[in-house]
A and B are shown apart, each in its own frame.
Chain A
Amino acid sequence: MSDLDEFKATYFDECSELLLELEEQFSAIQEGDRDSERLNAVFRAIHSIKGGGGAFGFDGLVKFAHSFETLLDYVRDGKVELSEDVIVLCIRSIDIVADFVGAARTGDALAASYGAVEKAQFDALARGQSAGAASTDDEPMDDFDIDFTPVAVNLERELPMASTAPATDGMTRWTIGFTPFPTLYERANDPLLLFRELGMLGTMTVTPRLKPMPKLADFDPFGVYCAWDIELVSDRASADTIREVFEFVDGDCAITIEMHEGSAPAAIALDDDDLPSFAALAEMAKAERKFIATGDADDMGAGADLSALLDDTKAEAAAPAPLHLVAEAAPAPATAANRDRSTDAPEDSASSGRPVGMQSIRVDLDKVDRVVNMVGELVITQSMLTQQMDDAIRDRYQELVRGIEVLAQTTRGLQDAVMAIRAQPVKSVFSRMPRLVRELASKTGKKIKLETIGENTEIDKTVIEQLSDPLTHMVRNSADHGIESPEKRVSRGKPEVGTVRLSAEQAGGNILIIVEDDGGGINRDRVLEIARERGVVGPDQQMTDEQIDNLIFAPGFSTASEVSDISGRGVGMDVVLSNIKKIGGSVHVRSWTGKGTRMTLRLPLTLAVLDVMLVKVAGSPYVIPLSSIVETIQNSRADFGHMPSGGKVLQVRGEYVQVVDLATRFEMTTDQAEDSRFVVLCEAEGNSKIALVVDDIIGQQQVVIKSLEENFERIDGIAGGTILGDGNVALIVDVQSLKSGTAHQTAA
């Protein structure tokens, strides 16, 4: 990746965060919170987006952001009222900025007129409020056309004044009078540097004009006791270039510039013995500074020397050196040694051994994942050790036992701490929803309010990443299918504005994410009809209301032709289910006719560690997630029934459950006697059960999930792998995909 690409990547990352921030701040503003800090925050966010965009030449983005920023500036200063209209305009404009950023990222071109309407509105608002100061509106890019021109610097640092060769034709002689004011020193400007810069324009002679010096006791280190007259002989200086040298001290000094026609004699006044040396003055200035800066004993000494110097004007006057600034004038910004060091570690300032000092650091998720994985292994090793301690060991090796107990505690603490590193508030996903709801509302002509609750609830980052798509589908579904048109709502006696509520909370080891709407509820007759048409449900199958509601997640239920333009894009809610299952979660829906629908996502806090039951099938180890196990039954005590297909069903508490022999399913042979095998009754989605037959049950433990796909490919019926305490690989059974009919559709 080139440097530029890297900066761009940083910039786009930053933009994503800033856009979230904008979204958040404006939604608070819209709710009536007019805290001035919010306005400052939105201003800064737009400003940063613009600033970075300018660096990369994203002109469209920059122009739009500039108009936006100008308006915000007026709003901040109270020159434009933050009316409802302005807020709505701003919120719409965030989306436009997001689109500009998105286009810049992908390199796509937006229509030239994109955002033009909003921009015109910004400009009009700003113009209306800034009569007489309309320049910013007419020339929105003036930020970048500032009258600042850098002084030409000879990078080779060859100073023309190093030579005192006589002036040749084309030379102009300038006389510059320079009298600093105290403010010049207060702003840490330094006459020496100005002279150095001036010296780059030509050959220069500097003559100080000393004012009477006070006694040391009365000496003000920032006082002005000296002014200078400068003679410059140059073939390229102009009044402007000379003024530019003094750009930073404009207003902090008095400057006179005079040009003398004709070629000038070189090195005037070089032998003027009456003048103190500039070098001596510079030394003096340094000593003063040091004195001020630290005031310690050594520098007091320097101060004392200074007083001697000050009291004895003769000493100054006798200083022999003429005013050559050559030696001091041009220290290179980097010494050779510095350069060497920076070549050794060009990108890493931390390598200098000093703290860079960020209060937070950014770490690749990969690195954190590695730590998470290792901590996972540690947890497992530790629990293995603990399990192997029997009473005899406890009695005999008390110190060892105590050590293992401490290890257990520390390990748990470490695990929590590491997980906390990866945890992120769900805000990052939630905050994408307001825009979605706005778009849906405007497309469908509905009035929809989005409420979010618990957006600071934290979940593992990997879970959050997987959450975005399903949540988008669910919110779309609520807004598109749930909320009724305003007319219909009014006729039903409901408020005209529908509400979609998005909430997150932690419940035990799970996170619950709930999407609720106060719309019409699921039309069960229609759902059942479609499900029958599509063969999702048998023609005579009887279903409870709850089962019908959950049909919307069934594979094959929704199709492209049926879902609307907004909700659909050809994928239905079954995608939600499979995405959520992929991260070990579940979805459940409940609906109340005429009142609304609630969809509940249950997600694991972390994906890294899984509680499992370890079993054996045909001599190989498999693990089944504990969360899906209902109970285990020895085959000899299980109540099997035989089906015409040759398959088996298990009767348990009046329910008939499909039986899957894992050995058969996995095409392996077992020599285990049928009666000594076990049934593991598992619960799949939607309360549907499946009975897995295994050879033996070894026990329960925690495992770290490993991917099979990293080095191989997905295996049907297997959700992944894990490494057991003895170093062997065990496979994680994918309960959901073993349910007949879904086996080949579920991605794990």
Chain B
Amino acid sequence: MRVLTVDDSRTILAMLHHTLTNAGFEVLQAENGQVGLDMLGREDVDVVITDINMPVMDGIEFIKQVRATGKHQSLPILILTTETSQDKRDQGRAAGGTGWIVKPFDPEKLISVINKVVH
């Protein structure tokens, strides 16, 4: 099972990497939406976890672009956010986000949310 993690924070990427590899996932990393999008062009992944606030290409645009490519219409995308302001999450969902994960996350919670959206 491969997870693409997209976040401009190295701390968060490192923590995701640790938690997910420990749970047996293979983890790909991208530091912004553009890099993530490029990666999806080359790599097959089972689920994407993305931050919203990122330079170059933010999470909302990233999700929109992913959904715009026919190949990834059924790819689960989880929005990683500390934003409670419902609007960010809603924007993410409107763009095509499958679900969300709230930072700071604990490892079990993270895995259980992933299991909610992937086979």
Q: A7-B18, A143-B84, A186-B73 are in contact. Are A150 and B109 (CB under 8 A)?
A: yes
- A222:B14 contact, CB within 8 angstroms: no
* Set A3, A41, A54, A349: member contacting B27, Cβ < 8 A: A349
CA–CA, A55 to B10, complex, Å? 13
Q: A192 contacts which chain B residues (CB < 8 A)?
A: 119
Q: B30 contacts which chain A residues (CB < 8 A)?
A: 357-358
| Residue interface bits B81-97, CB-to-A below 8 A is 1, else 0 | 01111000000010011
Q: A357-B29, A357-B30 are in contact. Are A349 and B104 (CB under 8 A)?
A: no
How far apart are B64's CB and chain A's nearest CB, in angstroms?
Answer: 11
Which positions 40-59 of chain B face chain A at CB distance < 8 Å? 42-43, 53-55
Q: A363 contacts which chain B residues (CB < 8 A)?
A: none
Which positions 488-545 of chain A face chain B at CB distance < 8 Å? none
Q: B10 contacts which chain A residues (CB < 8 A)?
A: 10, 13-14
- A293:B70 contact, CB within 8 angstroms: yes
- A148:B103 contact, CB within 8 angstroms: no
How far apart are B108's CB and chain A's nearest CB, in angstroms?
Answer: 7
CA–CA, A190 to B117, complex, Å? 7
Q: B117 contacts which chain A residues (CB < 8 A)?
A: 188-190, 193, 248
Q: A248-B99, A289-B74, A333-B1 are in contact. Are A153 and B115 (CB under 8 A)?
A: yes
CA–CA, A59 to B53, complex, Å? 21
Q: A189 contacts which chain B residues (CB < 8 A)?
A: 76, 98-99, 117
- A51:B103 contact, CB within 8 angstroms: yes
A728 at the interface (CB under 8 A from B): no
- B108:A292 contact, CB within 8 angstroms: no
- A151:B82 contact, CB within 8 angstroms: no
Q: A150 contacts which chain B residues (CB < 8 A)?
A: 108-109, 112-113
- A44:B8 contact, CB within 8 angstroms: yes
Q: B12 contacts which chain A residues (CB < 8 A)?
A: 48, 51-52, 55
Q: Which of A187, A248, A352 has most chain B Cβ within 10 Å?
A: A187
How far apart are B70's CB and chain A's nearest CB, in angstroms?
Answer: 7
A297 at the interface (CB under 8 A from B): no
Q: B99 contacts which chain A residues (CB < 8 A)?
A: 189, 247-248
How far apart are A67's CB and chain B's nearest CB, in angstroms?
Answer: 14
CA–CA, A13 to B11, complex, Å? 9
How far apart are A18's CB and chain B's nearest CB, in angstroms?
Answer: 9
- A359:B84 contact, CB within 8 angstroms: no
- B116:A47 contact, CB within 8 angstroms: no
Q: B108 contacts which chain A residues (CB < 8 A)?
A: 150, 153, 155
Q: A3-B18, A352-B26 are in contact. Are A222 and B11 (CB under 8 A)?
A: no
Q: A144 contacts which chain B residues (CB < 8 A)?
A: 82, 102, 104
How far apart are B116's CB and chain A's nearest CB, in angstroms?
Answer: 6
Q: A294 contacts which chain B residues (CB < 8 A)?
A: 71
Q: B102 contacts which chain A residues (CB < 8 A)?
A: 144, 146, 148
Q: Is the interface of B mostly helix, strand, loop or mixed?
A: mixed
- A356:B98 contact, CB within 8 angstroms: no
Interface size on A, residues (CB 8 A): 64
Interface size on B, residues (CB 8 A): 61
Partner-contacting stretch, out of A334-342, A434-442, A582-590: A334-342
Which positions 178-229 of chain A face chain B at CB distance < 8 Å? 185-190, 192-193, 197, 222
- A190:B67 contact, CB within 8 angstroms: no
* Set A43, A148, A188, A356: member contacting B77, Cβ < 8 A: A188
- B53:A43 contact, CB within 8 angstroms: yes
A557 at the interface (CB under 8 A from B): no
CA–CA, A43 to B8, complex, Å? 13
Which positions 569-599 of chain A face chain B at CB distance < 8 Å? none
Q: Which of A11, A186, A188, A247 has most chain B Cβ within 10 Å?
A: A188
Q: B35 contacts which chain A residues (CB < 8 A)?
A: 357-359
Q: A52 contacts which chain B residues (CB < 8 A)?
A: 9, 11-12
- B8:A292 contact, CB within 8 angstroms: no
CA–CA, A196 to B10, complex, Å? 34
How far apart are B67's CB and chain A's nearest CB, in angstroms?
Answer: 7
How far apart are B66's CB and chain A's nearest CB, in angstroms?
Answer: 9
> Can you name the residue of chain B whose Cβ is closest to the Cβ of A133?
B85
Q: B24 contacts which chain A residues (CB < 8 A)?
A: 332-335, 338-339, 342
> Can you name the residue of chain A whose Cβ is closest to the Cβ of B75?
A188
A354 at the interface (CB under 8 A from B): yes
Q: A193 contacts which chain B residues (CB < 8 A)?
A: 116-119
- A356:B29 contact, CB within 8 angstroms: yes
> Can you name the residue of chain A whose Cβ is closest to the Cβ of B85?
A136
Which positions 117-145 of chain A face chain B at CB distance < 8 Å? 136, 142-145
- B53:A248 contact, CB within 8 angstroms: no
A50 at the interface (CB under 8 A from B): yes
B62 at the interface (CB under 8 A from A): no
How far apart are A577's CB and chain B's nearest CB, in angstroms?
Answer: 38
- B11:A293 contact, CB within 8 angstroms: no
How far apart are A646's CB and chain B's nearest CB, in angstroms?
Answer: 64
Interface residues of B (CB under 8 A from A): 1, 8-12, 14-15, 17-18, 21-31, 35, 38-39, 42-43, 53-55, 67, 70-71, 73-77, 82-85, 93, 96-100, 102-104, 108-109, 111-119
| Extra 15 A-B pairs, beta carbons < 8 Å, given A7-B18, A248-B98 | A51-B12, A55-B15, A143-B82, A187-B97, A188-B117, A189-B98, A248-B116, A332-B24, A333-B25, A334-B1, A334-B23, A338-B24, A338-B26, A349-B27, A359-B31
A-B contact pairs, 30 of them (CB 8 A): A6-B14, A7-B11, A7-B18, A10-B11, A43-B53, A47-B82, A48-B11, A52-B12, A54-B104, A55-B15, A55-B103, A150-B108, A151-B116, A153-B115, A187-B98, A188-B74, A188-B117, A193-B117, A193-B118, A293-B73, A333-B111, A333-B114, A342-B24, A347-B21, A349-B26, A355-B42, A357-B38, A357-B39, A358-B35, A359-B31
Q: Which 5 A-B pairs have the closest CB atoms?
A: A334-B24, A248-B99, A52-B11, A55-B104, A11-B11
